[in-house]
Chains A and B, each alone.
Chain A
Amino acid sequence: MEQHVYARWLDIGTRIGFAVLVATFGVYVFGLLEPLVPLQDLPRLWTLPADRYVAATGAPTGWGWLGFLGRGDYLNLLGVALLATITIVCYARILPLLPRVQAVLAAIQIAILLGAAFL
């Protein structure tokens, strides 16, 4: 029972996340929204470690990307974040359906995933 509910929610969530990812990438590469990091600068910057890339471009960390959704490149992170949120939503959905032991494990799992999201 809980497997079928999880499967249904996961299927819908994954389709939405992937569609958002592809659509926002179209916005990015076709220049419909100006990116924070100009496309022609990327080959010079993507050779740097992530922390130096962030320092060199002023790119946001943590949830700071939400403030940059008007930029073509950071709009894409909406799709990434959706794909990374689906599992949390699915676990929360089946929580009331699980037997006690599994419900405790699922609740801890949700806490861990939320912890990772806000780390």
Chain B
Amino acid sequence: MEWWIWPIALFAITFLMGIVAVLAGVGGGVLFVPIVSAFFPFHLDFVRAAGLMIALTSALSAAPTLLANGLASLRLALPLALVGSVTSVVGALVGLALPTDVVQIALGLIILAIALLMWRAGRADHPAVARPDALGAALGMHGIYHDPALGREVRWQVHRTPAALFVFALIGLLAGMFGLGAGWANVPALNLLMGAPLKLAVGTSGFVLSVVDTSAAWVYLNRGAMLPMIVVPSLIGVILGAKIGARLLPITPTHVVKKIVLSVLVLAGGRALLKGFGI
């Protein structure tokens, strides 16, 4: 097959992914790696590197507005991003060193687990945090943001910081190893575990992602795993698709889209498992 068919196909599929990702409220990276590794001929190393760049660029693009509006908190993100970025480097190094079939099987299991998490995980708009823990207070993890929907200032603080640091270490490891982005895990960890308000959790998740994925991206770049012919058409496709998705959001039944995304993830996760077992 001619070489130029693949970047065009990649652009088309990532354009659709960008639309669906916005409608389903997931990151582009979490769809990109399982789908492209399952149905395109590229080696998993290049797909993971491109997945990281998609997650990184999406996070970098969204972070300025979220930070400026106070919907992402730098003080909340600093310690979590620090832990996650160390382990994402480890994850990237381990992922590149392990045999491909082992990574493929692990990817399949992780994707199926993500689908389960997305299906089952609850959300709490404003979780109750009676008392901040000592570490969170010492690290200055509290603040106020303006919620335009409520029309008032929302005061927030967090608890269970030591457990959260452990969870973010794990998330960083998975993000670096599989190039998946990590919004699927960051948001529940910030919201349900630490007790950050949902809007702040979503905004801060994107910021944490921009730091964690930066460190892993360097590892893939230094190992020669960034192929521009895979990275750039995918990035442009996802970003343009996300713009269309944002326009379609008000008129689309998002619960239907979420069910479709879950089905696709289960399919792609199953395919990754089969590939890993050489089937």
Q: A residues engaging B (CB < 8 A)?
A: 2-4, 6-8, 10-11, 13-14, 17-18, 21-22, 24-25, 28-29, 39-40, 42-43, 46-51, 53-54, 59-63, 65, 73, 76-77, 79-81, 83-84, 86-88, 94, 99, 101-102, 105-106, 108-109, 112-113, 115-117, 119
Contact = CB atoms under 8 A, between A and B. Distances in A.
Interface of B: 1-4, 6-7, 41-43, 45-46, 49, 53, 56-57, 60-61, 63-65, 67-68, 70, 72-75, 78-79, 81-82, 85-86, 89, 93, 96, 100, 138-140, 210-211, 214-233, 235-236
A28 B3 CA distance: 14
Contact of A109 (B61, B211, B219): B211
Contacts of A24: 228
A46 B217 contact: no
A99 B96 CA distance: 38
Given A7-B65, A87-B214, 4 more contacts: A48-B43, A50-B43, A77-B221, A113-B218
A12 B216 CA distance: 22
A102 B86 CA distance: 17
Contacts of A3: 67-68, 70, 72-74
Contacts of B138: 101
Given A49-B45, A116-B89, A84 B64 contact: no
B85 A83 contact: no
Given A7-B63, A102-B78, A42 B229 contact: yes
B176 to A, nearest CB: 10
A109 B43 contact: no
A80 B238 CA distance: 16
Given A7-B63, A21-B232, A54 B224 contact: yes
B218 A117 contact: yes
17 contacts: A3-B67, A4-B68, A10-B60, A17-B60, A46-B227, A51-B224, A54-B223, A60-B224, A65-B221, A80-B231, A81-B221, A87-B60, A87-B211, A105-B139, A117-B218, A117-B222, A119-B89
B231 A83 contact: no
